[in-house]
Copies of this chain bind each other. A is one copy, B any other.
Amino acid sequence: MLQIAQQRASEVDRLFPLSLGAEGSCTIGGNLSTNAGGTTALAYGVAREMALGLEVVLADGRILNGLSKLKKDNTGYDLRNLFIGAEGTLGIITAATLKLFPKPRAVETAFVGLKSPAQALKLLSISQNEAAGTLTSFELLSDFAVDFSVRHGIDVRAPLANRHAWYVLMELSSPRDDARAALESILAQGLEQAIVDDAVIAASLSQRAAFWKLRDEMSAAQKPEGGSIKHDISVPVVAVPDFIEQADAAVVKLIPGARPVPFGHLGDGNIHYNVSQPVDGDTADFMGRWHEVNALVFDIVLRMGGSISAEHGIGVLKRDELPGVKDKVAIELMRAIKAMLDPTGIMNPGKVL
């Protein structure tokens, strides 16, 4: 389980940085098979970048013994990355050697209110110049997403006194005691340049935990609002504001009253673009338009050179969309690799291809 890996690392004064809402139940094998992302990918990368080696059981029973502990190894083809993110369709990951990181000495977290994704992007740019590798999270949250979480989440409170159109939850993790000064400098620049409208820095560990609880409850908190049509997209980071503007307009034009609830990892260009049904609308009717809404959103994503699945993978839900959005030769290569490694189709059948 991911949480146990995090704890074991912490016990030896190290950090295993992968962090996501499901960390109390998901497994490392699953994290690697799906190439999980989460809220720290900005600084530490995705799961792919945290595994030094793998042991994999192949469809024919052979065992690939690749539990390397090496940081650098250029002896032959990179087989490890073939199995990471393949969603179990090429083999089953049964063991992995994981990379640990120095445990940060100072962690500082801020909750920021601002006017638009474009302003958030400016704040990201200031933060990256100021904090670079110590900027470990930069989450963009829409007003709907925060409001749902505050209203439906258990023990969740709004961190700022007033409502804002958009929010950023950002965190700096530094090996030195300089994170507070850097965060204050970032926010001061943001206020001065009229990018930031209001901000609060967590004054205690419990306040920090409260900020993150608001974020972690975000998916669950959409359920009491009725049906939700979900997307997990990425576009180039600079294109995120444009994407949200275009997608919002298209979705609301198609279904008047539909409520876009975008939130996610602005620093990675990865937005969970969920759409909640209109207030008092019919849930079944709304959910029946899943593919129609998908098509609309994916069309905008593809025109921006984006991905229709940034971190959640293909699975069954997006399997039939894949040939329409992926390079033709890439699909041919994927099929050839699948046929080579699993000719009888017994590894996680029906997924991805």
Contacts and interface: CB of A to CB of B under 8 A. Distances in A.
A237 interface: yes
Nearest to A175: B132
A78 B333 CA distance: 10
A307 B331 CA distance: 33
A234 B313 CA distance: 33
Interface residues of A, number: 83
Contacts of A71: 41, 234, 237, 268-270
A79 B331 CA distance: 10
A180 interface: no
A63 interface: yes
Interface in A33-60: 34-35, 37, 41, 43, 45-46, 48-49, 58
B77 A82 contact: yes
Given A62-B332, A175-B132, A340-B340, A305 B70 contact: yes
A265 B70 CA distance: 13
A332 B308 CA distance: 34
A76 B328 CA distance: 12
A241 interface: no
A301 B141 CA distance: 50
Interface string A75-92: 111110110111000100
A64 B134 contact: no
A74 interface: yes
Nearest to A42: B71
18 contacts: A35-B78, A49-B49, A64-B329, A66-B330, A68-B307, A70-B234, A70-B235, A70-B269, A71-B270, A73-B307, A75-B325, A77-B82, A79-B333, A81-B81, A133-B134, A176-B182, A336-B340, A340-B340
